[in-house]
Structure 1
Amino acid sequence: MVLNEAALGAARRSLDQGAVNPSYGPWREDIIQLLNDSLATELVCVLRYKRHHFTAEGLASSAIAAEFLVHATAESGHADRLAQRIVQLGGEPDFSPDSLTKRSHAAYDDSKELKEMIKANLVAERVAIEAYSQMIAMIGDKDSTTRRLLEDILSDEQEHAEELKDWLVV
C-alpha cells in the first residue's frame, strides 16, 4: 500500500489551514454545518436544564434539580468541544441567539411540573442520541476526529437518558 504523494505534498504547503488537509475533500463544509446544528442543540439543552434547575419544585426536586445543573454543565462542555472542532475545521461557530431554536434538534421547555421537566429532558436526550447516531454514520471515515468527538458526546447523552428514565419512577 502506498500513500498518496500529491496529498502529502499539499499537506506540506497551505500551512495557514492548520489541521485541515486535502483529505477532508468536499465534506468539510457539510461537517461544519452538522457541528453548528449540534452546537445549537447543546446550547438549547443548557438553557432548558438551567431553567429546570432553578424552577424545579416538589418532593424529590432538590436532588433532581442538582442533577439538572450537572447535565447543564455537561451540555455546556459539549458545546465548547463542538465550537472548538468547528474552528479547527476552518469554520465559525454559530452562537447567534436569534437562530438557536430553529437550528436545534431539541426543543426548549418551560414545564412547571417536575415529572414534565424530566420527560422533556428525556425526549431531548433521546433526540440528541438519534441525531448524533445519524451524524456518526454519515461522517463514517470522512473525518475520524469529528466522529470520535461525536461518539464521546453520544456516550454522555446515553448516560443522561438512562438517569432521566430512572427519575421518572421517583
Structure 2
Amino acid sequence: MDSRTKLELNEKAIEAAKRSLDDGAVTPSYGPWRDDIVKLLNDALATELVCVLRYKRHYFTAHGIASPRIAEEFLEHANAEAGHADRIAERIVQLGGEPDFSPDHLSQRSHAEYDESKDLRDMLRSNLIAERVAVETYRQMIELIGDKDPTTRRLLEEVLNDEEEHADELKDLLDE
C-alpha cells in the first residue's frame, strides 16, 4: 500500500456532507454515536446545573469567621459551573439534540448531589466530593468519546481542567 493513501481524504464522506444541510455541523460521519453523546452531555448538563444550585446555596448560607472568603470561592465556582452548563447546552444543540433543563429531571440525571449543609466545613467537603465526582465522570466521558467526536472531547477536556482546579482549591480551603 502506498503511503499516500493513508493521508487521503474520504471523498464519499465529503460528498455525504454536501447533503442534509438541515443538520448544520453534524455530518453523517458522526454516525451512531451522536445520540449517545447527546445523552452523556445532557447528564453532564444536569450535573453542572445541580452544582450551580449547590454552590449558590452555600454562597448565601455560609456563616462564620472564614465565611466571606469561602463564600466568594463558592460564588466563583457557581459562575464557572454555569459557564460549563452553557457551553454543554450549546454543544448539545450543535449536535442536533435538545438540552434538558427540566427541573424535574436534574436530580435524576446529575452525577453530583445537591447539599443543604449548614456547617462551613461540611459545605467545603460536599463541594469537594462533587468536584471529584465531576472529575471522574468527565474523565470517563472523554475516554468513551475518544475520537468519535473531537469537538466534544476538547470541550470536556477544558471543563475537566476547571473541575480539577476547583477540587484543588476546595482541598486547600479544607486544609486551612
RMSD (Å) for aligned C-alpha atoms: 0.6
**Which digits, 9 at most, give the CA deviation of each residue in 1:117-151, with x for residues without a partner?**
00000000000000000000000000000000000
Matched residues in 2 for 1:93 and 1:63: separation?
34
Aligned position for 1:5? 11
Secondary structure of residue in 1 paired with 2:64: coil
Matched residues in 2 for 1:46 and 1:54: separation?
12
Matched residues in 2 for 1:158 and 1:103: separation?
21
Residue 66 of structure 1 pairs with residue 51 of structure 2: no
Alignment of structure 1 residues 1-40 onto 2, 5 Å: 1=5, 2-40=8-46
Counterpart of 2:74, as a letter, is: F
Matched residues in 2 for 1:165 and 1:69: separation?
16
Residue 88 of structure 1 pairs with residue 133 of structure 2: no
Show structure 1 runs of 4+ deviating over 3 A. Answer: none
Identity of aligned residues (%): 71
5+ long unaligned stretches in structure 1: none
CA shift for structure 1 position 16: 1.1
User: TM-score scaled by structure 2?
Assistant: 0.95
Matched residues in 1 for 2:143 and 2:121: separation?
33
CA shift for structure 1 position 3: 1.8
Count of residues in correspondence between the two structures: 170
CA shift for structure 1 position 58: 1.0
5+ long unaligned stretches in structure 2: none
Which residue among 104, 121, 124 is the counterpart of 1:98? 104
Secondary structure of residue in 2 paired with 1:168: helix
**Which digits, 9 at most, give the CA deviation of each residue in 1:52-74, with x for residues without a partner?**
00000112100000110000000
Which residue among 130, 136, 147 is the counterpart of 1:130? 136
